[in-house]
Structure 1
Amino acid sequence: MKLYHFPLSGHAHRALLGLSLLGVKAEVIDVDLANGEHKSAPFLELNPFGQVPVLVDGDTIVNDSNAILVYLTTKLGRKDWLPGDLQSVAKIQKWLSVAAGEIAYGPAAARLITVFGADYRADEVIARAHHILGLINAELERHQFIIGDRPTIADIALYSYIVSAPEGNVNLAPHENVRHWLARIEALPGFVAFPKTAAGLAA
Structure 2
Amino acid sequence: MQIHADPITVNCRKVLAGLDFLGVPYELVHVDYFKGEQKSEPYVSLNPNASVPSMVDGDLVLWESNAILQYAAEKAGVEKAYPRDLKARADINRWLLWESSSWFPACYVYLVENCVKPLLGGQPDGNVLSAHDAQFHKLAAILDSRLADRPWVTGNNPTIADIALAAPMHLHGWQKLPHAQHKHLTRWLTENIESLPSWQKTWVGEGFTTQKH
Shorter-chain TM-score above 0.5: yes
| Structure 2 match to 1:135 | 142
* Cα 1:86/1:188, change in 2 over 3 Å: same
Aligned 1:174-189 pairs, distance under 5 A:
174-182=181-189, 183-189=191-197
Equivalent residues, number: 199
Q: Secondary structure at the match of 1:33?
A: coil
| Structure 1 match to 2:158 | 151
When structure 1 is superposed on structure 2, of 102-111 and 40-49 the one drifting more is 102-111
| Structure 2 match to 1:125 | 132
CA distance in 2, matches of 1:145, 1:177: 10
- Is the contact made by 1:38 and 1:44 (CA closer than 8 Å) also made in structure 2? yes
Question: Residue type of the partner of 2:157?
Answer: R
Percentage of matched positions with identical amino acids: 31
Per the TM alignment, residue 22 of structure 1 is displaced from its structure 2 partner at its CA by 1.1
Q: Secondary structure at the match of 2:143?
A: helix
CA distance in 2, matches of 1:171, 1:193: 23
CA distance in 2, matches of 1:2, 1:53: 10
When structure 1 is superposed on structure 2, of 182-191 and 71-80 the one drifting more is 182-191
Q: Secondary structure at the match of 2:97?
A: helix
- Is the contact made by 2:7 and 2:202 (CA closer than 8 Å) also made in structure 1? no
CA distance in 2, matches of 1:67, 1:197: 28
- Is the contact made by 2:3 and 2:28 (CA closer than 8 Å) also made in structure 1? yes
* Cα 1:128/1:198, change in 2 over 3 Å: farther
Question: Residue type of the partner of 2:115?
Answer: V
* Structure 2 residue runs without a partner (length 5+): 118-123, 209-213
1:140-164 deviation digits (Å, cap 9, x = unpaired): 1121100111111110110121232
Q: Secondary structure at the match of 1:4?
A: strand
| Structure 1 match to 2:179 | 172
Question: Residue type of the partner of 1:15?
Answer: V
* Structure 1 residue runs without a partner (length 5+): none
CA distance in 1, matches of 2:175, 2:156: 29
CA distance in 1, matches of 2:173, 2:137: 11
CA distance in 1, matches of 2:28, 2:165: 21
1:57-76 deviation digits (Å, cap 9, x = unpaired): 12211111000100001111
CA distance in 2, matches of 1:126, 1:168: 13
Superposition TM-score, scaled by structure 2 size: 0.85
When structure 1 is superposed on structure 2, of 71-80 and 113-122 the one drifting more is 113-122
Per the TM alignment, residue 36 of structure 1 is displaced from its structure 2 partner at its CA by 2.1
CA distance in 2, matches of 1:194, 1:160: 11
| Structure 1 match to 2:205 | 196
1:68-87 deviation digits (Å, cap 9, x = unpaired): 10000111111111111121
Q: Secondary structure at the match of 1:121?
A: helix
Per the TM alignment, residue 128 of structure 1 is displaced from its structure 2 partner at its CA by 1.9
| Structure 2 match to 1:35 | 35
Q: Secondary structure at the match of 1:167?
A: coil
| Structure 1 match to 2:48 | 48
| Structure 1 match to 2:83 | 83
Runs of 4+ in 1 over 4 A off after TM superposition: none
Superposition TM-score, scaled by structure 1 size: 0.89
